[in-house]
Homo-oligomer: A and B are copies of this chain.
Amino acid sequence: MGPLSLNTATVRKQWNLAQMIDGCARHGIRGISPWRDQVAQMGLSDAKRSIREKGLTVTGLCRGGLFTAKDWRDDNRRAIEEAHKLGAQCLVLVVGGLLPGSKDLFLSRERIRDGIATILPEAKKAGIPLAIEPLHPMQAAERACINTLEQALDICDALGDGIGVAVDVYHVWWDPKLQSQIARAGKRILAHHICDWLVPTRDLLNDRGMMGDGVIHLPRIRSWVEAAGYSGFQEVEIFSELDWWKRDPDEVLRTCKERHARCC
């Protein structure tokens, strides 16, 4: 089983990035995937120094993408630079939803493909692999209209080297083609995010569950990801307005570790 990484969204309501870095070190979590607003708040140089001092691996930087928003070009250029400076293993792309005021999925998806193609050369130059994260179809309108692994891999096929996918179980667990598409992805799996799908789910964005508390067959998906050749970190990412964001963050990290060992 891959080692645990903390996606810092998991405790974003309780801690700043400096506290998260310390928290990871204190709990023996060896990987971290920070969000750019947190990095900016701490300062890129300080964040880099602190992460290095604690010996953490930066399993990803969240996030680039949002290609249907206005300032996507500059924003992605900055994201690539930041990922490079932090030594991130990849830049996670949340690609953006429908173009403002539009119902046109075709056009929105075309813009997204073009946007990815535009930034890819820079990302390659910086040595930062781009990880397209297909988001759950319930987030198609507002956050990302790349919604299946198959769709993401079709784009990867078209664009060649330097690009792959982030497999977040929350977004893809339901997909009838998940096993075959994970196998197809192979070495292009750049990140493996974990959490759980709660029954019932009370919110479309911020009601994710802790591993073991929902219905996702985590060991099965892990076995597919490993069979595809991925041997990196498992990155826990839990958006949880109603539960985990309200808890003591040390309890959250302890629980992540314990569940990662037992349920994943």
Q: Which of A98, A109, A146, A201 has the most chain B CB atoms closer than 10 A to its own CB?
A: A201
A122 at the interface (CB under 8 A from B): no
Give A131-178 interface residues, CB cut-off 8 Å to B.
136-138, 140-142, 145-148, 150-151, 173-176
CB-CB under 8 A from A147, the residues of chain B are 174-176
From B138, B201, B204, B216, A103 is in contact (CB under 8 Å) with: B216
Can you name the residue of chain B whose Cβ is closest to the Cβ of A198? B141
- Give the one of A176, A197, A200, A201 with max B CB within 10 A: A176
Q: Is the CB of B148 within 8 A of A176?
A: yes
Specify which chain B residues have a CB less than 8 angstroms from the CB of A104 in the assembled complex.
217
Q: Which listed residue (B150, B175, B199) contacts A141, Cβ 8 A?
A: B199
> A215 to B147, alpha carbons, bound, how many Å?
16
Q: Tell me if A141 and B197 are in contact (CB < 8 A).
A: yes
Counted per complex, copies of this chain come to 2
Asked whether A105 is an interface residue with its Cβ less than 8 Å from the other chain, the reply is yes
Separation in Å of the A107 CB from the closest CB of chain B? 10
Please, which residue of chain B has its CB at the minimum distance from the CB of A142?
Answer: B199
The answer to whether A175 touches B137, judged by C-beta atoms less than 8 angstroms apart, is yes
A201 adjacent to B199 (CB under 8 Å): no
Q: Size range of the interface on A? A: 20 to 34
- How far apart sit A175 and B11, CA to CA, in the bound complex (Å)? 32
Task: Name A170-189 residues within 8 Å CB distance of B.
Answer: 173-176
**Which residues of B lie under 8 Å from residue A176 when comparing CB positions?**
109, 146-148, 150-151
Q: Which B residues are in CB contact (< 8 Å) with A175?
A: 137, 147
Interface string of A177-221 (1 = CB under 8 A from B): 000000000000000000001011100100000000001110000
Provide a sorted-by-A list of 27 A–B residue pairs whose CB atoms are within 8 angstroms: A103-B215, A103-B216, A104-B217, A105-B173, A105-B217, A109-B176, A137-B137, A137-B174, A137-B175, A138-B138, A138-B201, A138-B204, A140-B173, A141-B174, A141-B197, A141-B215, A142-B199, A142-B200, A145-B174, A146-B176, A147-B174, A147-B175, A147-B176, A150-B176, A151-B176, A200-B204, A204-B204
Seen from chain A, the residues whose Cβ lies within 8 Å of a Cβ on chain B are 98, 103-105, 109, 136-138, 140-142, 145-148, 150-151, 173-176, 197, 199-201, 204, 215-217
Further pairs besides A137-B175, A138-B204: 14, Cβ < 8 Å: A103-B216, A103-B217, A104-B217, A105-B217, A109-B176, A137-B174, A138-B201, A141-B174, A141-B197, A145-B174, A147-B174, A147-B176, A201-B204, A204-B204
